[in-house]
Structure 1
Amino acid sequence: MTDQGRGSPQDAADAGDTRTSGAGPGNSGAGADSGGAGPGSGGAGSIEGHYIVCGGNSLAHRLVLELTEQYEVPVVAVVPDRSREHGPAIAQLPGVAAVLEYSTLTGEALDAAGVDRARGIALMDGTDQENIHAALAAENRNHGVRIVLRIFNQRLGEHLEKLLPNCAALSASATAAPAFANGALGRPHSVEVGGRHLYVAYDEDIHSNQLCLVADRIDPQDLSQLRLLPDTGGRAADFIRIAERFGSGEGPIELGRPDVAPAREPGGLAALQPLDAEPALRQPFGKRVKWWLLDSLKYFTNTRLRVILITAFAAIVVGAAVLYYRTQHPPGLGWTLYSTLLDAAGAAQPDLPTDQALGDPWARAAQVLITFCGITFVPLVTAIAVEALASGRRGLPRPPGSRTRDHVIVVGLGNVGTRVATLVHGTGLPVVCLERDPNARGIAAARALGIPVLIGEGPLEAQLKQARVKHARAVAAVTSDDAANLEAALEARAVRPEVRIVVRLFDDDFAHHVYATLGNVASRSVSYLAAPAFAAALMGREVLGTLSVFRHVLLVAELTVEEGSALEGRNTGDLEASGGVRVVAVRLHRRADAYQWNFADRSRRLVPGDHIVVAATRAGLARIIQ
């Protein structure tokens, strides 16, 4: 499976969020902006030590922004079409040294971009095969170049990283999908570090074991006030601020007290907290059995036949009661059940002791009743059991049934939607997918997991009702179209106002209006979540994960102190003084297997072999790893 499908509009890019912006299709063809030359005239010219970003989708756009604004490095962009998708926006970004246009990433394009003089190259567009081919071509031209490529097949990416030691193969959909899935499930999106799951908690959910304050002045109606990792006067200042916000000044922190006014801080707070394990979400066994029985019964029968079956079952129960009370010297409940089942199956007279023979006329009549009712009831029960076993086979499509309750509806089966559906399915909760394109690759993947998929161009309202949105816990709209995602959110809200909604939106202003207008809505951008990890990988660093604070991104990274690096000789106080960084854990070189959370010795200088876990903004991480 490739990262970008050729036939599916949902798979327009792994980062998704692809938009047509700026100039129309009639704009100029090959060429470069004033900072560079066209494909046939020298390309990047004499630029050296630069970074090359190849692609015209939103992930490439965000990555160029990360490199120019956060890391302040020269960038040469290679786009397939300067007049489409994000090509016009990339060409207008300040700090871009050159913008080249090549429909395919050939050796000529790499030479024009100056790959032999570049420090790194990022391959953000094309299929897995095309990106791997370009990565090998770049490695042949510059053995020391840092290569980061977007790939959907993560297993293939692992093999490529072993083949090219200076290469990182990442998937934007895999990076961003957990944020969408956890948003739909209503549980905190977390990043695993040292056996703990770090997540962001808000206001009354903040506990005394919090690691650091990550945001304040949170107002969902006006997200421009939010401050990510605000400056503090030391580690204690975070705890003092939370105590002032929620506490009474006496005794322990008391969260959510109605008599404590939040006047000291405009808006809410968010803090980084650890979990030993993520909460289980699997439905109770009793509910699953009940809904399975209802679903199977409805699958095989219509209303009239169900009335007959219920009547037959009731008659069998009455017959069993007559056998129990009218048999001479009642043999007990076990013998009664044994006799009833054999009679219902049409079997011969069950073995009974001679002194307990069925000589009572009422008992004989009950046997006849049970036998004739069993002729109707037992075959259908057998068919239901056989169908239940057969439905476990992979790839059999099933429509949503009665057991589809408390489920998550995923709208759009592109790369992101497929991963979101897979993650939710892995928790044990039911999933229903909606997809308009019958050729989307994600359809086969979802059906292979036994997930119902509804396909068609019909009204979205009708499809959501067929997906049983009135019984759903959440709707995740993750297509590559902002308008389609918002339509799905509004249609779902119209049917069930309390349903939780997660929408994929690229435009920040649009997302702010959604937050201010709709309650119980979470907005995520795939490219905004994934671009910082790609930028850090291009700079030779590894980001463990990203955490969403509304539309902002908090990076969690584990950095190794190397000899001669910028981290050597600095302490945690020095790292946090510049702002945008919190050191949440330290692994000393002499105890590399032990994470020391909230490391107390803030004056200790870092030495080669130490590891630090930081929670940082994009700008903060860029400052400490350059």
Structure 2
Amino acid sequence: MVVVVGDTLLASRLCASVQAEPGFSTTHLVAPCDSTLLVALAQEGVEAVVIAVHEDVAALRHALVVADADPHLQTIVTVFDQTMKERLGQLWPHLEIVSPAEIVAPSLAGPCVLPGALAAWTDGDRPYVLSDPVDGPRELVRPPSVWPKGVAGLRDRLRQVVLGAHLGQTTSTRMLVVGTGGVGVVLFADFVWLISMGVPPAEAFFDAARVVSTVGPAVAHGGDAYMVFAGLAMLATIAFSAVLTAGFIERFLEPRVLSLFGSRRPPRSGHVVVIGMGQVGLRLCVELRRLGIRVIGLERDSRAPALRVAQALKVPVVHGHGTDRQTLERLSCKGARAIATVGSDDLDNIAVAVSVSALVPHVPVVIRAGEHEVIARPRSFEGLGHLRDVADLATVYVRARLMGRDVDLVATDGETTYLIVGTRCVETVRRDPKLGCRHEMPQVATARQ
């Protein structure tokens, strides 16, 4: 007997999948208290426990109850947060910690890397791609450097910086650009004016700097016209200096997820746009960067905890909503390799996919699903994008582990899920839409994952 704990679609599908196996039975606890879980564990013939809940903290609590009741019982726990996954594995080695985000990342990355690919991932330093389950995985040739060498490369880099500035990535960046640019224009205009009047360059620069710093020129040059210009320039500089100062303050206070230079510079072409920077979105970004693909994220919640993680991973992130056309244009979707909408809400992902397909119909779209049964059916959205069902992939993986099978990877083409071990496809699983859990599932709000 297998005890399944959880109110998720993954728990429901896993319960039904295990029930369909000859010789297996299940007890499904939707939202048990500790005493209810202990009573279920005390039943005769319990051989394994699977915990699949929305909140990682709740998963930890149930895992502690199981470990206290029987530390040798096979226990599989689904945890989205990578840090908690690693820590739980260190504290309780007998637990098998499974991350749905880690399971689904290769399947999400496949269509982003290569058209028609089922999955793409890295094994050590070697990238692999799975296009045909019969042929098995093959090594992927990493994309060439995005920058040409020599003068052409320098020109392209400068063009990237100039074009990247128009993104208006954050409020602080816009303030810094406006403030710095305004002060620079005033300084240059004053310097050129003085040079045209015959003032030596060193003295012209000194007087122009005095004007910019609002202390005025040491000696008035050029009569009334220049004095009027110098006065207006000093007044303008006060405004530009205020904007510049505000930009610096805002820059120090906000999470730095974008920059004009360095690894957090927004890409302009050949990149993948990841919409929804939860645990799945972050894991996808990490996988794509390992494969040599540049990424940029989009997150509508400016206070999302994942932004801090994105900052540490040096992943560029823009704040905005994926259904907004102007926001999508800022992300350079027309030059993107692919667009992945992987938020925690299936309905939002579908809405974003519709907006993206209307704006850039030639760019492949990868859609995360798995929280709503109807949306998770690929035929319902055929032509809109590549649908990847997180719950279905995780169900196949966990079921295989319950049966004692070794699994390196699960991949899907939307209708069929493939279990990959090494370089071979060891099992093919076709989803049965009629297969369902006999237990009643309550309507529960999904957590952000």
Amino acid across the alignment from 1:492: V
Aligned residues of 1:174 and 1:416 also touching (Cα < 8 A): yes
Alignment CA distance shift 1:616-1:295 (3 Å): same
Does the 8 Å contact 2:128/2:140 carry over to 1? no
In the alignment, structure 1 residue 278 sits paired with structure 2 residue 140: yes
Correspondences of 1:148-167 after superposition (within 5 Å): 148-154=76-82, 156-158=84-86, 160-161=88-89, 164-167=92-95
Identify unmatched segments of 5+ residues in structure 1.
1-49, 81-101, 203-213, 215-270, 310-342, 347-386, 559-583, 585-612, 621-626
Aligned with residue 296 of structure 1, among 161, 165, 176 = 161
Structure 1 segment 314-353 matched on structure 2, within 5 A: none
Name the structure 1 match of 2:27. 76
Residue 201 of structure 1 is aligned with which of 131, 145, 149? 131
Amino acid at match of 2:136: Q
Contact residue 70 and residue 619 of structure 1 kept, 8 A: no
Shift of 1:155: 5.7
1:120 to 37, 41, 48: 48
Matched, 1:55 2:15: no
Matches within 5 A, 1:119-268: 119-125=47-53, 127-154=55-82, 156-158=84-86, 160-161=88-89, 164-186=92-114, 188=117, 189-190=119-120, 200-201=130-131, 214=133
CA contact (8 A) 1:115 1:121 kept: no
Q: Give the TM-score taking structure 1 as reference length.
A: 0.48
**Structure-to-structure mapping, 1:507-586, within 5 angstroms:** 507=374, 510-515=377-382, 517-518=383-384, 521-557=385-421
Q: Contact 1:546 / 1:553 at 8 angstroms: preserved in 2?
A: yes
Mapped contact 1:292–1:403 kept (Cα < 8 A): no
Letter of the 2:378 partner, please give it: A
The answer to whether the 8 A contact 2:376-2:389 is kept is: no
**Contact 1:505/1:511 (<8 A) preserved:** no
Residue 258 (structure 2) aligned to one of 393, 397, 405: 397
Q: 1:115 to 1:51 in 2, by over 3 A?
A: farther
- Distance in 2 (CA, whole Å) between partners of 1:418 and 1:512 is 27
With over 3 angstroms needed to count, the CA separation of the structure-2 counterparts of 1:494 and 1:549, relative to structure 1, is closer
| Alignment CA distance shift 1:73-1:274 (3 Å) | same
Query: Could you say which residue in structure 2 is the equivalent of 1:39?
Result: none
2: distance between equivalents of 1:419 and 1:548?
Answer: 18
- Is the CA contact (8 Å cut-off) linking 2:38 and 2:65 kept in structure 1? no
The match for 1:43 is none
Deviation digits for residues 10-55 of structure 1, max 9, x if unmatched? Answer: xxxxxxxxxxxxxxxxxxxxxxxxxxxxxxxxxxxxxxxx211111
Q: Percent identity?
A: 23
- Structure having the higher Rg: 1
Partner of 1:504: 368
CA distance in 1, matches of 2:3, 2:109: 32
Q: Per-residue deviation at 1:171?
A: 0.4
SS at match of 1:285: coil
1:280-313 Cα offsets, whole Å, 9 max, x none, are: 135432287544312434645879x89x99xxxx
Contact 2:257 2:317 in 1 (8 A): no
Residues 382-434 of structure 1, C-alpha deviations (whole Å, 9 max, x = no match): xxxxx9xx99xx94533797742221111111211111122223344332222
Q: What's the offset of the Cα at 1:149? A: 0.5
Following superposition, the deviation at residue 198 of structure 1 comes to 6.9
Q: Residue 70 of structure 1 contacts residue 618 of structure 1 at CA under 8 Å; is this kept in 2?
A: no
Q: Which has the higher contact order (CA 8 A, sep 6+)?
A: 2
1:494 aligns with 2:355: no
Secondary structure at the counterpart of residue 434 of structure 1: strand
Question: CA–CA distance in 2 between the matches of 1:75 and 1:125?
Answer: 17
Q: Which runs of 4+ in 1 moved over 6 A?
A: 191-198, 399-402
How well do the aligned residues superpose, as a CA RMSD in angstroms?
Answer: 3.8
What is residue 615 of structure 1 aligned with on the other side?
A: 426
1:353 is aligned to none
Cα distance in 2, alignment partners of residues 281 and 536 from structure 1: 34
Query: Are 1:128 and 1:153, in contact at CA under 8 Å, matched by a contact in 2?
Result: yes
- Counterparts of 1:427 and 1:115, CA distance in 2: 47
- 8 Å contact kept, 1:175–1:545: yes
- Cα distance in 1 for residues equivalent to 2:336 and 2:39: 53
The separation in 2 between residues aligned to 1:201 and 1:403, in whole angstroms, is 27
Shift of 1:508: 6.1
> Which letter maps to 2:141?
P
Calculate the TM-score normalised by the size of structure 2.
0.65
Work out whether residues 199 and 547 of structure 1, in 8 Å CA contact, stay in contact via their aligned partners in 2.
no
Q: Distance in 2 between matches of 1:441 and 1:551?
A: 34
Secondary structure in 2 aligned to 1:273? coil
